[in-house]
Amino acid sequence: MPELPEVEIAARLIGGAIAGARVESALAPGINALRSYDPPLAALEGRTIAGIGRRGKLFLVGLDDGLTILIHLMSAGRLQLFDTRASLRDRSSRLLLTLDDGRQLRLREFGTRQRAWAKLLAADALDSEETLAELGPEAWPEPPPLGDLLDQPRPLYALLRDQHVIAGIGRSWVDEILHAAMLSPFKRGSDLEADEAQRLRAATIARLSDAIAHYERELELPIPDKLPMPLMVHRRNGEPCPRCGDRLEAVFYEDYVMCYCPTCQTEGKLLKDRRLSRLLK
């Protein structure tokens, strides 16, 4: 599940490697992958890539003449750079950009659902692109003060993952951030005390910065399908809490899991298993 740190490192590594390269051809083998029609993909032929930027969990591949490819990986997409051309059997490719030196930039997606998408946008269309306009402020490197931003009667676990509220955090990093801030996932944003809001902001910056620094040390091209995510809490239920040593617990939802430390975050209280409570209804 690529979130802000994973998208940031991919943008840095791949962007640095392909800046200045020219696009030879572009293809969109995925049925639903290309969500724009004007300009057509063929407009990419002969363009020079300026670099890759990031906004929230989205990539912005910049080309000359103000063209941008906006890419959303959704939950199972990857942006990868390959030295060789994609074999016809690579069913995971949704978008292929062949560069004139033979390398290939691919939007790939793992799993059965096709949800990752890309849009090719001219400069004016990029300015008015809704997906970007609707994003909240960046969670990293300098999020705004969180007291006002999160002042809503919704649980922190939902607010921090709401890209319209704050951009970049998903199911993995929210567990890490809330654990670092020693806050309950179900505490309401509107109930945050000033010192808690400050702690949460500091934890957000620290955990995301640490993750990016970790990737800077560990990763090089080609970026592997499975990233070595430095998670200490997420999906570590049953293991000892890295801070207090007590047992990390989890709440299971239909297709994901939320992890936390009862001692550090919920005053010892065990949170209800949502999957179970729905079945019992």
Work out how close the CB of 157 gets to Zn ion at its nearest, in angstroms, rounded to a whole number: 17
Question: Could you give phi then psi for residue 183, rounded to 5 degrees?
Answer: -125, 145
Work out how close the CB of 136 gets to Zn ion at its nearest, in angstroms, rounded to a whole number: 29
Question: What six digits make up the tokens of 141?
Answer: 């490197």
Segment interacting with Zn ion, rule: CB under 5 A, options 24-32, 41-49, 135-143, 237-245: 237-245
For the chain, report the end-to-end CA distance as a whole number of angstroms. Answer: 30
Nearer to Zn ion, 123 or 244 (CB): 244
Segment interacting with Zn ion, rule: CB under 5 A, options 64-72, 78-86, 153-161, 259-267: 259-267
* From 263, 271, 273, 275, residue interacting with Zn ion (rule: CB under 5 A): 263
- Say if CB 220 and CB 13 are below 8 A apart: yes
Work out how close the CB of 191 gets to Zn ion at its nearest, in angstroms, rounded to a whole number: 21
Nearer to Zn ion, 243 or 275 (CB): 243
Q: Give residue number: closest CB to Zn ion.
A: 241
Nearer to Zn ion, 165 or 241 (CB): 241
* From 74, 243, 257, 273, residue interacting with Zn ion (rule: CB under 5 A): 243
Segment interacting with Zn ion, rule: CB under 5 A, options 45-53, 207-215, 256-264, 272-280: 256-264
Cis peptide before 222 (omega within 30 of 0): yes
The verdict on 264 binding Zn ion (CB under 5 A) reads yes
Nearer to Zn ion, 9 or 177 (CB): 177
Q: Which amino acid is at 119?
A: K
Work out how close the CB of 237 gets to Zn ion at its nearest, in angstroms, rounded to a whole number: 12
Work out how close the CB of 248 gets to Zn ion at its nearest, in angstroms, rounded to a whole number: 7
**Residue corresponding to tokens 């936390």:** 260
Site residue total, Zn ion (CB under 5 A)? 6
The verdict on 181 binding Zn ion (CB under 5 A) reads no
Work out how close the CB of 267 gets to Zn ion at its nearest, in angstroms, rounded to a whole number: 12
* From 178, 241, 251, 258, residue interacting with Zn ion (rule: CB under 5 A): 241
User: CA nearest 48: which of 76, 24, 80?
Assistant: 24
Work out how close the CB of 185 gets to Zn ion at its nearest, in angstroms, rounded to a whole number: 14
The verdict on 183 binding Zn ion (CB under 5 A) reads no
The verdict on 42 binding Zn ion (CB under 5 A) reads no
Q: Which residues bind Zn ion (CB under 5 A)?
A: 241, 243-244, 261, 263-264
